[in-house]
C-alpha cells in the first residue's frame, strides 16, 4: 500500500506547490479542469496516458518525482483487479459509504418545503444504495420512506432512481447529483411525482455535515434560507 508520502496524489500536490501554483493555475497550464486535477490529488483518479507527457512538456524534468508514485499506484490498481492496461483517467476507490444529511426542495399544499432527512449510503464498487432513516418532519403529508439505487460515473456524477419503501406510496423518480471536489457534499436535482403534482422537480443537497447541507441549499436556492434559518452570509441564524 502506498503511503501518504509515496502516493501519486500527494506527490502531485507537492510538485504543484513547489511550482508555486494553485490547482486552477496548474490545470490551465496542462489543459485539464481544476476539479479533475483535485480528484487526482486526493487519489480519486489515476492519470491517463496523456497526463505525465503534458507535465513534462510544460515543466521539463517535472515527471521525475511523479513517475515512481505513478508506477506504485498503477501496480496496486492491477493487484486489486483493475486491469493490466494503462488507465485512462481510471477511477480509484472513492468511498461514499456512511451517514449523510439530505435536503430536498419540494412543495407541501402549494408552499415551498425543504425536507430534511438523515440518509445511509451503502456502496459496492461504483453502485450506491441510499435510504432515508425516517420521514421528513417538515412535510408529514408528502414525505415517505424511500430507497435510491444509483451509480457513480467518473467519480463525480451520480445518477439513479428512487422508489418508495412503503406499499401505499406511489411517488418515484430519478435523481442526478454532482459530487463536489472536496467530497463534502453532492448537489443536484430530483425529478418525479410528488404529493402536490404528477410531475415535479427540485434541488437536492446531500452532505456529510448538516451545516454544510443547509448552507449549500441556501446558496443554491435563496428562498430556502429563511426556512432553514440561514443568514445571507451562510451562517446559522440565532
User: pTM, whole model, 2 decimals?
Assistant: 0.63
Distances (CA, A) of 10 to 6, 92, 156, 220: 7, 14, 20, 32
Q: Tell whether the model's pLDDT for residue 233 goes beyond 60.
A: no
User: Grid coordinates representing 47?
Assistant: 492519470
Percent with pLDDT over 90 in the chain: 37
Mean pLDDT throughout 194-216?
87
pLDDT digits (tens, 9 = 90+) for 173-188: 999 999 887 678 899 9
Q: Output the CA–CA distances (angstroms, integers) from residue 95 to 5, 69, 200, in the order listed.
A: 21, 21, 31
- The kind and range of the H/E element at 9 are helix 8-18
Extended beta strands in the chain, E state:
98-108, 111-124, 127-132, 146-153, 157-164, 173-179, 185-192, 200-207
Q: Which residue has the cell 487519489?
A: 43
Strands 157-164 and 173-179, bridge-based pairing: antiparallel
**Higher-pLDDT residue of 4, 178:** 178
Complete domains list, the chain, with CATH = 8-79 (1.10.260.40), 98-228 (2.40.128.120)
pLDDT score recorded for residue 213: 93
Q: What is the pLDDT of residues 76-103, one digit of tens each?
A: 666 654 443 334 444 444 678 899 999 9
Amino acid at each position: 500500500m502506498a503511503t501518504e508520502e509515496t502516493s501519486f496524489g500527494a506527490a502531485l500536490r507537492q510538485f504543484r506547490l513547489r511550482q508555486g501554483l494553485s490547482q486552477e493555475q496548474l490545470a490551465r497550464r496542462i489543459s485539464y479542469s481544476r476539479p479533475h486535477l483535485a480528484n487526482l490529488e486526493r487519489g480519486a483518479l489515476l492519470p491517463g496516458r496523456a497526463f505525465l507527457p503534458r507535465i513534462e512538456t510544460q515543466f521539463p524534468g517535472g515527471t521525475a518525482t511523479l513517475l515512481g508514485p505513478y508506477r506504485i499506484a498503477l501496480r496496486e490498481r492491477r493487484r486489486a483487479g483493475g486491469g493490466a492496461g494503462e488507465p485512462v483517467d481510471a477511477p480509484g476507490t472513492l468511498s461514499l459509504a456512511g451517514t449523510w444529511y439530505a435536503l430536498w426542495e419540494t412543495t407541501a399544499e402549494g408552499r415551498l418545503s425543504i425536507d430534511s432527512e438523515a440518509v445511509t449510503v451503502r456502496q459496492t464498487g461504483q453502485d450506491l444504495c441510499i435510504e432515508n432513516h425516517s420521514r421528513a418532519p417538515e412535510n408529514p403529508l408528502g414525505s415517505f420512506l424511500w430507497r435510491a439505487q444509483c451509480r457513480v460515473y467518473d467519480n463525480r456524477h451520480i445518477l439513479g432512481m428512487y422508489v418508495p419503501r412503503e406499499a401505499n406510496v406511489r411517488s418515484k423518480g430519478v435523481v442526478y447529483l454532482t459530487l463536489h471536489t472536496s467530497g463534502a457534499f453532492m448537489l443536484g436535482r430530483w425529478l418525479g411525482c410528488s404529493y402536490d403534482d404528477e410531475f415535479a422537480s427540485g434541488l437536492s443537497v446531500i452532505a456529510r455535515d448538516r451545516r454544510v447541507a443547509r448552507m449549500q441549499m441556501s446558496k443554491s436556492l435563496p428562498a430556502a434560507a429563511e426556512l432553514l434559518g440561514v443568514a445571507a452570509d451562510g451562517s446559522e441564524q440565532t
